[in-house]
Amino acid sequence: MQNNVSTVNPEFVHEKMQAGLPMHLVDVRSIKEFSSEHAKGAKSLAMSEISATTLKSKFGSAAGTEEPLYLICTAGFRAQQAAQKLHDQGLNNLFIVNGGTDAWVKLDLPTTKLIKKSWSLNLSPQAQAQVFMGMLILLFAIKGVLLGPVFTVLVGFVGFIMLISAFDQRFCLAKVFSDMPWNKA
């Protein structure tokens, strides 16, 4: 692949953004990567969706022609691929952000993170299931001591279910916890 597109430093792009000049900073990474952290002001257009037509419909007819289009990814490889594809489709005002988001972050330029921390403390679904079951057993044991033998039987029942789930994946609580909203990316 021949490279017909210039590279620019992240500081240069940031200065252009600060100056309010007409330009577009497009992050070509997946939406999950984009959501984890991206250059502030960047717009997401995944590599799988990139084309001159899509770009112009999202950012206007001047993007990549009259107005410069700066492409950024993690380190530069996908941005280079996207730039070549767009160049081949007739866009000529294209630039690759040298070093990508990694360089942007290292230079301590402003970023945005869209993924919010959840109350799950980043525990795996399996660990969440273990915490849940541990709390349930503890609660039943306390109630068994305070209120009577019915809750002691429930402790035994929960323990029995835990044994079954260890051998039969159909009863695996980790699967249930992995489908919970706080574990969705």
Taking only the tens place, the pLDDT of each residue in 7-31 is 999 999 999 999 998 999 999 998 8
The whole-number pLDDT of residue 1 equals 44
Q: H or E stretch including 173?
A: helix 173-178
Query: pLDDT tens digit string along 59-108?
Result: 999 998 999 999 999 998 999 999 999 999 999 999 999 999 999 999 99
Query: pLDDT tens digit string along 129-166?
Result: 777 777 887 787 787 788 877 777 777 777 777 766 66
- Work out the pLDDT band at 3, boundaries 50, 70, 90: low
Statement: the pTM of the whole predicted model exceeds 0.75: no
The whole-number pLDDT of residue 72 equals 97
Contact criterion met (CB below 8 Å) for 142 and 44: no
Judge whether residue 181 has pLDDT over 80: no
Single-letter residue type at 105: V
User: Which string of DSSP letters, residue by residue, matches 24-76?
Assistant: EEEE-S-HHHHHH-EETT-EE--GGG--HHHHHHHH-TTBTTTB-EEEE-SSS
The whole-number pLDDT of residue 140 equals 77
